[in-house]
C-alpha cells in the first residue's frame, strides 16, 4: 500500500511542474535566462509548460522566458539558470554605437526623403508608449497601389534582437542608391514589385534592450494560432504592435514574407506550432535553402544541416507570426535568425548586411514565381489551386481586396474561381521564374 502511494506521488511530479502557478500569461517575457542542457533532460521537463517560452535551443543549451518568478522556479527545479538580468550591464556596454528608436525614425525619414521617387514612409500604428511602427513601401510609384506581387520584411519584433533592424536600414539605403544609379537588376525588381520593409516592430523593446514590448509581452507568441484555443483571427485583446501588424496584413495582399531575429544563424520554416507538414513544404524548403546557400554561417552551419530547420522540429512556438501569416493569409513566411549574438559589436553591422545582401534581394524576386488574379467586374469568393499534372489540390483560399496572388513551384495549374453567387470558372495558369524578367503576371477577370 505504502509503495503504491509512493508511485502515485511520483507520477504527479511532472503534472505539478507543468501547472505550478507562477504565472500570468503564456506570452510574458518578464524574466529570461540561459539554461545549459547537454543531455536534453531540462528541455523535456520545461517544454510545453503553459507559462514558459523556449527559444534558440541548441544541442547544449536553450533560452527560457516567462513571468516574474521564472528564475526562482528554474532554480527550484535545479536548472541552474543564468539570468539575462545579470548580463544587463554587459549589454549596456556592448550596445554602444547603436541608434535609439528615435534616431532610427530620423534615419527612415532621411532615407525615404532622399529616395522619395521609389520610397514612402508609412506608420501602421503606435506602441503603447506612443512610438510609431514604421514601414517603408518601395515601388516605382510608391504613392499608387499597383497590381504587383507584395512582399514584406519585418525585423526586430524581439526588442533585443537588433541585427535585423540595422540590416533593413542598410538594405533600404542600398536599394535606393542602386535604383538611382539605374542598376538593371534592382530597377527590374523595384519597378515590378511592391516591397514593404518594417525595420522595427518592437521599438519599445529595442529602447529597453529586451525581448518583450513595454508590457514585457513576447510579440512572437501573441498572434492567433490555428493549433491552439486562441485560433480566431481576431485582434481583440492583443498587444498594440500585434494589432497594427494584423490590421496592416488584412489591408494588403502579401504573398511572401520573412521576419528577422537573432540568437543563432538559420532559416526556420513553417510550421512552428504543429508537427504537421505545411502546404507546399518542398517549395518552402527550397526558398529557405536558397537564402541559406548565399549566406556564410548558414550554408556551413555545424548546428543546422544546410542552415535551415523546420520550426516545430527545432522547438514548438505557439502564437508566432510566421504560422499566422501563412495559415490565415496564404502569405508564405519564414523566420531568419541572423546572428549568434543578439547585440554584436556595432562595427559588424555593415558586414552582416553584405553577407545577407544577395539573399535578401533574391528572396524578394521569388515573389514573381507565382500568378495572380484581379477581379474587376465580379466579386469572387475563393480560389482553389490544383496542380494540373498530378491533379492534386494545393489549397482553397479566400479572396480579399478583389485580388488573389499565389507563389507556387514552377509548373502548370488550374485556378478554380468561385464567384459570390456560388458559380465557378476554371483558368489554366502557368508559373515560371526568370529573375531577369519580372513582369507581374495577373489575369483580369
Ligand atoms: Zn526572436
pLDDT digits (tens, 9 = 90+) for 371-430: 999 999 899 999 999 999 999 999 999 999 999 999 999 999 999 999 999 999 999 999
> What's the pLDDT score for residue 22?
46
327 CA from centroid of ligand 1 (Å): 20
Radius of gyration from C-alpha coordinates of the chain: 23
Q: What is the pLDDT along the chain (445 residues), one digit of tens a residue?
A: 344 344 444 444 444 444 444 444 578 899 999 999 999 999 999 988 888 999 989 889 999 999 999 999 999 999 999 988 766 666 666 678 899 999 999 999 999 999 999 999 999 999 999 999 999 999 999 999 999 999 999 999 999 999 999 999 999 999 999 999 999 999 999 999 999 999 999 999 999 989 999 999 999 999 999 999 999 999 999 999 999 999 999 999 999 999 999 999 999 999 999 999 999 999 999 999 999 999 999 999 999 999 999 999 999 999 999 999 999 999 999 999 999 988 899 999 999 999 999 999 999 999 999 999 999 989 999 999 999 999 999 999 999 999 999 999 999 999 999 999 999 999 999 999 999 999 889 999 9
Q: Is 337 a catalytic residue?
A: yes
Query: In which order are the strands placed within the sheet that holds 119-126?
Result: 119-126, 132-138, 194-198, 150-155, 254-261, 332-338, 265-269, 308-310
C-alpha cell recorded at residue 247: 490590421
157 CA from centroid of ligand 1 (Å): 7
Strands 403-407, 370-374: pairing is: antiparallel
> What's the pLDDT score for residue 95?
76
How many of the other CB atoms lie within 10 Å of CB of 245? 29
pTM of the model: 0.92
> By CB neighbour count within 10 A (0-12 exposed, 13-18 middle, 19+ buried), where does 6 fall?
exposed
> What's the pLDDT score for residue 28?
87
Tell me which of 337, 384, 418, 430 is the catalytic residue: 337
161 CA from centroid of ligand 1 (Å): 6
User: If you count them, how many residues does the chain have?
Assistant: 445
403 CA from centroid of ligand 1 (Å): 32
For the chain, domains (ranges, CATH) are 2-93 (3.30.70), 96-368 (3.40.630.10), 370-444 (2.60.40)
Angle between helices 240-251 and 321-329 (to 10 degrees): 30
159 CA from centroid of ligand 1 (Å): 8
Amino acid at each position: 500500500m505504502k509503495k503504491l502511494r509512493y508511485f502515485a506521488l511520483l507520477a504527479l511530479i511532472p503534472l505539478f511542474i507543468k501547472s505550478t502557478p507562477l504565472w500570468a500569461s503564456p506570452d510574458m517575457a518578464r524574466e529570461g535566462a540561459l539554461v545549459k542542457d547537454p543531455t536534453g533532460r531540462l528541455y523535456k521537463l520545461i517544454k510545453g509548460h503553459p507559462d514558459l517560452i523556449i527559444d534558440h535551443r541548441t544541442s547544449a543549451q536553450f533560452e527560457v522566458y516567462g513571468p516574474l518568478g521564472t528564475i526562482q522556479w528554474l532554480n527550484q527545479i535545479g536548472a541552474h539558470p543564468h539570468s539575462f538580468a545579470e548580463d544587463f550591464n554587459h549589454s549596456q556596454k556592448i550596445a554602444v554605437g547603436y541608434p535609439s528608436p528615435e534616431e532610427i525614425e530620423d534615419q527612415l525619414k532621411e532615407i525615404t526623403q532622399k529616395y522619395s521617387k521609389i520610397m514612402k514612409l508609412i506608420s501602421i500604428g503606435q506602441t503603447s508608449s506612443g512610438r510609431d511602427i514604421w514601414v517603408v513601401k518601395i515601388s516605382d510609384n510608391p504613392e499608387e497601389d499597383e497590381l504587383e506581387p507584395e512582399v514584406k520584411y519585418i525585423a526586430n519584433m524581439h526588442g533585443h534582437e537588433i541585427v535585423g533592424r540595422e540590416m533593413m536600414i542598410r538594405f533600404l539605403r542600398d536599394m535606393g542608391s542602386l535604383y538611382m544609379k539605374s542598376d538593371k537588376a534592382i530597377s527590374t525588381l523595384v519597378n515590378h514589385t511592391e516591397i514593404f520593409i518594417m525595420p522595427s516592430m518592437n521599438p519599445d523593446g529595442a529602447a529597453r534592450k529586451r525581448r518583450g514590448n513595454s508590457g514585457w509581452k513576447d510579440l512572437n507568441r501573441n498572434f492567433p494560432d490555428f493549433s491552439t484555443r486562441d485560433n480566431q483571427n481576431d485582434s481583440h485583446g492583443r498587444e498594440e504592435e500585434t494589432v497594427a501588424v494584423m490590421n496592416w496584413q488584412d489591408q494588403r495582399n502579401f504573398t511572401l514574407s520573412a521576419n528577422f531575429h537573432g540568437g543563432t544563424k538559420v532559416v526556420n520554416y513553417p510550421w512552428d506550432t504543429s508537427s504537421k507538414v505545411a502546404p507546399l513544404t518542398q517549395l518552402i524548403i527550397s526558398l529557405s535553402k536558397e537564402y541559406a546557400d548565399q549566406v556564410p554561417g548558414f550554408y556551413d552551419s555545424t548546428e543546422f544541416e544546410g542552415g535551415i530547420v523546420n520550426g516545430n522540429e527545432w522547438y514548438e512556438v505557439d502564437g508566432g507570426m510566421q504560422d499566422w501569416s501563412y495559415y490565415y493569409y496564404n502569405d508564405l513566411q519564414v523566420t531568419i535568425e541572423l546572428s549568434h549574438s543578439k547585440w554584436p559589436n556595432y562595427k559588424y553591422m555593415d558586414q552582416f548586411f553584405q553577407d545577407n545582401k544577395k539573399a535578401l534581394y533574391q528572396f524578394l524576386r521569388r515573389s514573381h514565381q507565382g500568378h495572380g488574379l484581379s477581379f474587376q467586374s465580379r466579386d469572387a469568393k475563393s480560389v482553389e489551386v490544383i496542380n494540373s499534372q498530378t491533379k492534386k489540390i494545393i489549397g482553397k483560399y479566400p479572396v480579399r481586396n478583389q485580388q488573389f496572388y499565389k507563389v507556387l513551384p514552377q509548373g502548370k495549374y488550374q485556378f478554380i474561381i468561385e464567384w459570390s453567387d456560388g458559380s465557378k470558372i476554371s483558368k489554366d495558369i502557368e508559373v515560371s521564374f526568370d529573375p531577369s524578367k519580372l513582369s507581374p503576371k495577373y489575369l483580369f477577370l
